[in-house]
Amino acid sequence: MEESNWKPYAVHQLPLWCSMATVFLIFLHSGARVLGNAQVPALFVFGDSLVDNGNNNGLTSVAKSNYYPYGVDFYQGPTGRFSNGRTIVDVLCDAFNLPYLPPYMSPTLNGTQLLAGVNYASAAAGILEESGQFLGERFDLSEQVLNFQSNLEQLRMVLGGVRMLSQFLASSIVVMIIGSNDYINNYLLPSLYSSSYNYSPEDYADLLLNRLTRQLLALHSVGLRKFLVAGLAPLGCIPSQRTAALAPPGRCADRVNEIVGFFNRGLRELVEQLNDAHTDATFVYGNTYAAVGDILNNPSAYGFRVVDRACCGIGRQQAEITCLPLATPCANRSEYVFWDAFHPSEAVNAVLAQRALDGPPSDCFPVNLRQLALLPS
């Protein structure tokens, strides 16, 4: 597994008869751009608060960020993004010349808006239905996939039929960033969940991967063919886990990172198995653990100065209480790895997105996103 190559930080309608010119105009409207010989008409995003861009705003949930200072560096201000600025998905949209994606819960979401893709991610969501439930309403992964499927008929009507829909889905890219809450808001909370008593770390990772596989295959079954599935970051190094584990200054929670490793190793193996079994598709493993680990071990190389505490928050490492409404965040946000107790800063999101786009196989296996975009569909 690639993450073993670094030493852990301080530890560790249109009708079917429409002309091709008209179809081309549709794709331009959707924000699609030609990359070499391939088009990326849309991104479809599934995940948690790392990529949620407002789906939780209308839910009865504690997990919301539609207030200042979230969005302090984003041109629209607070939108429901759990960041001071752009998320990883926003950076990917910039790279592919796509408009920023509408959240699934947007009241104005309609057929033509679907053409650039949709963000289905939901803060506090996990692969398992029960993960994060104590925080209120959220769309778990299976619900996110169902929400995507509910949009397919609209897409078919706008694109002009099944054939065009099939081509559209096959050239679009799925971005899936989920699993952190199955640990932070499930397995690592023995006072609320029994999962750590019922499953060893290895068995729990297997449970998550089996459930994840079901949803990936469900998306494949409707015609999606290009997938980025991100591994988990070293969760023992985020401010909330450093604080919860009472880790010594300058150190991460070693045991948490060890537990996460079982999931990441299994996910990389799963990607290889899926590629072998489904030769009509390409599944990519995003090695988030190694990328974040490199940032933590070599912060100055990326322009970071503060790696062990949040830019916005209260208490030990600014992480005992996360970023509250109208709180005053740090002024030098671009020098912080972590924006709040759980989430990276916009500057880190930009680094991670760039490594996903252009990185070697140690970052994205077997291909990076630009190579994925160029694959025939």
Active site positions, annotated: 49, 340, 343
Euclidean distance between CA atoms 341 and 319, whole angstroms: 5
Residue type, 70: Y
Structure tokens at 45: 């995003």
Whether residue 50 contacts residue 177, with contact meaning beta carbons closer than 8 Å, is answered with yes
Render 259-324 in DSSP notation, one character per residue: HHHHHHHHHHHHHHHHHHH-TTSEEEEE-HHHHHHHHHHSHHHHT--EEEEESSEESGGG-SEE--
Check: CB of residue 41 under 8 Å from CB of residue 66: no
Residue 270 in tokens:
């799963």
Q: Which amino acid is at 38?
A: A
Which is nearest to 89 in space by CA: 329, 349, 275? 349
Q: Which two tokens stand for residue 137?
A: 């309403």
DSSP state of 53: B
Let me know: does 46 contact 176? Beta carbons within 8 Å: yes
- The C-alpha angle with vertex 377 and arms to 365 and 121, in degrees rounded to 5, equals 60
Tokens 């990172």 sit on residue: 257
The Cα–Cα gap between 78 and 67 comes to: 5
CA-wise closest residue to 98 among 318, 377, 375, 373: 373
